[in-house]
Structure 1
Amino acid sequence: MNLRPRRDPPAPGQESVWDFPRPARVESTASCLRVVFAGRVVAETRRGFRAIETSHPPSYYFPPDDVETALLVPASRRTLCEWKGGAAYHDLVAGDRRAVDAAWSYPRPTPDFAAIAGYFAFYPGRVDACFVDDEPVTPQEGDFYGGWITRALSGPFKGPPGTQFW
């Protein structure tokens, strides 16, 4: 039996992922978001969105105009989010490097997530580096969620073994 963990008290300037809503919500962010792969910036924006949900670090969504979409190759993987709808995945290919299912998008999200239709999100653990306002991101553990952990967040975070039913 997996019991809900105790919320880590946030330090000054932090927000707790346990204060994030359920169901999930998407909100715009003016933070500078950046993804680096194979020695190049493949996505960078100040016009992104973040999806937040109880116990999860945010995942960030980039407008297609701010992504090197020529480096994204459609993959066969598909998943279904109870909040956002059906996700399509993309491999990231640059030179001789390929990151399988490194990015995902919601071509036709649910109405509450219409703002991110066609935007791209990236797994920070499948690329070389991700940044929020020049701070390197720590990838959320596990291979399903693609959250970006920064010093501005307190946990604990869903993702490691034993947290599936939080």
Structure 2
Amino acid sequence: MPTATWNGVVIAQSDQFETVEGNIYFPVDSLDKQYIKPSTTQTVCSWKGVASYYTLVVKGKENPDAVWFYADPKPAAKNIAGHVAFWKGVTVTP
């Protein structure tokens, strides 16, 4: 079961997921929301749309913009609607 871990804590875990461009996208419901806070950062992907971010806060440490999601993905990426992915030192194990 894929698991996302940062700073020694499981952030997300689910046997339901999507894989896009080598990234595992977890259902948003699998995300432990006690470890996230909203970010104002947004980026644009030409085929997925506008990505928004969360900052991780675990054991007093912050990892800015380590979680991303597409609130309203373009049609080609509709399979990742309602999902989040990780980077910036977050370990994702299949």
Query: Residue 99 of structure 1: which of 63, 85, 94 is its match?
Result: 63
What's the counterpart of residue 18 of structure 1? none
SS in 1 for 2:34: helix
Deviation at residue 95 of structure 1 after TM alignment: 2.4
Deviation at residue 107 of structure 1 after TM alignment: 0.2
What's the counterpart of residue 145 of structure 1? none
Unaligned runs of 5+ in 1: 1-31, 53-57, 133-166
Deviation at residue 106 of structure 1 after TM alignment: 0.1
Deviation at residue 130 of structure 1 after TM alignment: 2.0
Deviation at residue 67 of structure 1 after TM alignment: 1.1
Aligned residue type for 2:23 = S
Q: Distance in 1 between matches of 2:75 and 2:92?
A: 28
What's the counterpart of residue 33 of structure 1? 2
What's the counterpart of residue 89 of structure 2? 126
What's the counterpart of residue 37 of structure 2? 73
Unaligned runs of 5+ in 2: none
What's the counterpart of residue 43 of structure 1? 12
Deviation at residue 38 of structure 1 after TM alignment: 2.4
- Deviation track 1:79-136 (CA, whole Å, cap 9, x = no partner) reads 100110000011011220111110100000011212211311000x422x2211xxxx
Percent sequence identity is 31
SS in 1 for 2:39: strand
TM-score of the aligned structures, taking structure 2 as reference length: 0.90
Structure 1's consecutive aligned runs of 4 or more residues displaced over 3 angstroms after TM superposition are: none
Q: Distance in 2 between matches of 1:113 and 1:96?
A: 34
* RMSD (CA atoms): 1.3
As a proportion of its length, which structure holds more strand? 2
Q: Distance in 2 between matches of 1:51 and 1:108?
A: 16
Q: Distance in 2 between matches of 1:74 and 1:118?
A: 16
Q: Work out which of the two has the higher radius of gyration on C-alpha atoms and give 1 or 2.
A: 1
1:63 aligns with 2:32: no
Bigger RCO of structures 1 and 2 (CA < 8 A, at least 6 apart):
2
